[in-house]
Amino acid sequence: MSGAPTPAGSAVRPLARVGLRERHWYREARAIGRVYVRNRPAVVGAVLLIGFGLIAAFAPLIAPADPYLPATSREGVFNPPSWDHLAGTDHLGRDVLSRVFFGARIAWQIVLVATGVAVGLGVPLGLLAGYVGGKLDELVIMRFVDAVMMLPGLVLILALTGAVGPSITNTMLIIGVVWSPGYARLTRGVVLQIKQEVYVDAARAIGATPARIMARHLLPNVVAPIMVLASLSAAGIILVEAGLSFIGAGVQEPTPAWGRMAAEANKTILTRSAWPIAGPAIAIILLVMAFNFVGDGVRDAFDPRLRNIR
Amino acid sequence: MARYIATRLISSLILLWIISVLVFLLMTALPGDPTLKGTFEMTAENREIVRERLGLNDPLPQRYFDWLFPALQGDLGVSLARTVGTVSISTLFERRIPATVELGILSLLVVVTVAVPIGVLSALKPGSKREVAAGTAMIVGNSIPEFVTGIALILVISLHFDLLPVGGYVAFTEDPIENLKRMAMPVLAISLTATTLLMRQTRSAMINVLSDDYIRTARAKGLRERAVVVRHALRNALIPVITIFGFQAGLIFSGAVITEQVFNIPGMGRLFVESVVVEQDYNVIQNLVMFFAVATLLVNLLVDVSYTLIDPRIRTGGRSA
């Protein structure tokens, strides 16, 4: 993909120890980093992501109140933002800002686990389809991938949720399953290209098993495109999860998932107050935006054509 | 051209068949029993009677064909969650389909009429500052979930300015004006994301095409700029744009599911959510997935047809004209 094939999988070991600065992956990473930091929105996105990461990691320390603690009197519910409650309180009088902070944990958890599941399912499937090829590829795996990818994402997710019931674990797994065909298709495409390379023939000639060729020679070439796809699809995962929790088919009350908080707040926007919806809505938009900017930046950074532009 | 459309049609039908098998297997192979999901508990004997009556004890292939063949003739079976009496899914769908189809068609229309002209205009004068600003604005537009757009519209337009009703659905045949009034905000909420995406695609496709040699030729022979842009550039730029448009059908249907919830529209999306969250009605879910699959394939078929209208190479099937 990116210029010279990665030597990570080659059978040749360096004779002498090579200094860090001369290592291939080090120079590669430096080049990628240089292109990335040129893209200002991508840097802003990365800073936002780190911010959300810190909030998620230290939520119990920085949250001003207990996210599950309801108010003890009627005066405590539907409060507008104030110094005591920076984002106001919800219909039960819980502090919205604290719930938004804890919600960051849910969001990160879902992105990481869903992406892990998608990569874990899609990449082996794509390796198999691309390397083994033939009927398995044409008639089984790719037809399956086509069928899954043709359906609107939310429809498929809802159908699967209908089958196993809504919960946070199911939501993460289902989003992973629904996102996996994209990884399978991408991996297959890369493998079909790399398969023609001489070093794959050479490996086969010295008697490497298909499993070894896939793991040592094909897989390393897939890593960079997979990272790009993962960072591009994170925003979509957050949006789908928020939508799913909003309609009640995702994370359930009282877990402070942003989409669920927005749905609870939505029940009373016409009768009581619209304030409780502001916190989760802004959080969703900021995190999705951050992932979108980072995704764009990562895609450009891995594009070798952009390396020599100053 | 007929041949091209025919092959696309056949491959769509094969895809539909694969989806029907997958969905059927998913709904039957998973643990759980529809007779356990009812609102009241049944004795084991009664459950057995209900299972027998619903055909749940039949072998799998028979159950599949018992679903497929009547479905092809318009009989989708009965709702499982509503075991008291019989509720025909076809009747259920008949009542729910108009709202969703209208929502989908209006949204697709809005997306095309807004995204393509703006995308083209923004491509005509690509300045580097402006390009970055436009790109950034599009990413921001892309980052707002449909339900947030919808709720924001309700708060501003309905609650603050009191211009439009907050939701609900009135059939177009009953009162066209009221119908459109109630559709306006949901359609806007659905279209935002799809519009920004398509705008971006149109823009980059136009920028690509405008640097081609035949554009220079067209200008050199003295054509007015308008003719160059519309007849020479846009027509070629439209091909990748239409492809993206096909992908967006899915986006719009996903958006409809959520927006129907926000605006209280009794459509297929709401039925889907009710069937999944409240009733866990396998039979209805299975047919709903097929509905959305058919709808998406129809849009894609439309995309294929418009390819042939725009690109003579496809019309003649790759033979030199």
pLDDT band at A108 (very low <50, low <70, confident <90, very high): very high
Query: Of B146, B262, B277, which has the smallest distance from its Cβ to A166's Cβ?
Result: B277
DSSP 8-state code for residue B229: I
Q: Let me know: does A289 contact B140? Beta carbons within 8 Å.
A: yes
Would you call A288 and B15 a contact, using CB atoms and an 8 Å cutoff?
no
Distance CA A84, CA B150 (A): 30
Q: Which of B207, B58, B182, B61 is nearest to B128 (CA)?
A: B207
Mean of per-residue pLDDT scores for chain B: 83
Return the pLDDT at B52: 78
> Residue B92: is it exposed, middle or buried by C-beta count within 10 angstroms (0-12/13-18/19+)?
buried
Query: CA A294 to CA A232: how far, in whole Å?
Result: 8
pLDDT higher than 60, residue B38: no
Please check whether residue B261 touches A, CB under 8 A.
yes
Q: Are the C-beta atoms of B293 and A159 separated by less than 8 Å?
A: no
> What sign does the dihedral B17-B20-B25-B28 (CA atoms) show?
negative
For B269, nearest residue in chain A (alpha carbons): A155
Q: Hey, is the C-beta of B159 within 8 angstroms of any chain A C-beta?
A: yes
Mean pLDDT (chain A, rounded):
86
Q: What is the pLDDT of residues B79-121, one digit of tens each?
A: 776 655 567 888 888 888 999 999 999 999 999 898 888 888 8
Mean pLDDT of A1-26: 60
**What is the distance in angstroms between the Cα of B226 and the nearest Cα belonging to chain A?**
33
Q: How far apart are CA A247 and CA B270, in angstroms?
A: 9
pLDDT at A18: 67
If phi > 0 it is left, if psi is from -120 to 50 it is alpha, else beta; for residue B27 that is alpha
Query: Which of B26, B139, B143 has its CB closest to that of A159?
Result: B26
Task: Test B142 with A153 for CB contact under 8 angstroms.
Answer: no
Q: What is the pLDDT of residue A46?
A: 94
Q: Is A239 on the interface with B (CB under 8 A)?
A: yes
Q: What is the pTM of this model?
A: 0.86
CA A244 to each of CA A97, A170, B319: distance values in angstroms, whole numbers, following the listed order:
22, 12, 48
3-state secondary structure of B282: helix
Q: Which of residues 165-184 of B touch A (CB under 8 A)?
A: 166
Is any Cβ of chain B less than 8 angstroms from the Cβ of A76?
no
Residue B208 Cα to chain centre, angstroms: 28
**In chain A, which ranges are continuous DSSP H helix?**
24-38, 40-57, 59-62, 96-132, 134-135, 142-150, 153-164, 168-194, 198-205, 210-212, 219-246, 258-266, 275-301
DSSP percent split of chain B into helix, strand, coil, nearest 5: 75, 0, 20
pLDDT of res. A310: 45
In angstroms, the CA A83 to CA A146 distance is: 53
Query: A148 CA to chain B: closest CA distance, Å?
Result: 8
Task: Render pLDDT for B43-86 as a digit per residue (tens, 0 to 9).
Answer: 778 777 877 777 777 788 888 888 888 888 888 877 776 655 56
